Amino acid sequence: MEVVKYMDGPLACFSRVKLASGEQVMVSIASRSVKVFRMALGGLLPVGTLWECRDWVRMGLMFRCGHQDRSKILEGATALVMLSPSAAAVRSELERLDAEHRGWKKE
pLDDT tens sequence across 49-100: 999 998 888 888 888 887 778 888 899 899 999 999 999 999 999 998 888 8
Considering the entire predicted model, what is its pTM?
0.85
Torsion 46-50-54-60 (CA) sign:
negative
What per-residue string of b and e applies to 53-76 under the rule 16 or more CB within 10 Å gives b? Answer: beebebbbbbbebebeebebbbbb
Give yes or no for a contact between 57 and 67, defined as CB atoms under 8 angstroms apart: yes
* Residue 45 CB partners (closer than 8 Å, separation 6+): 39
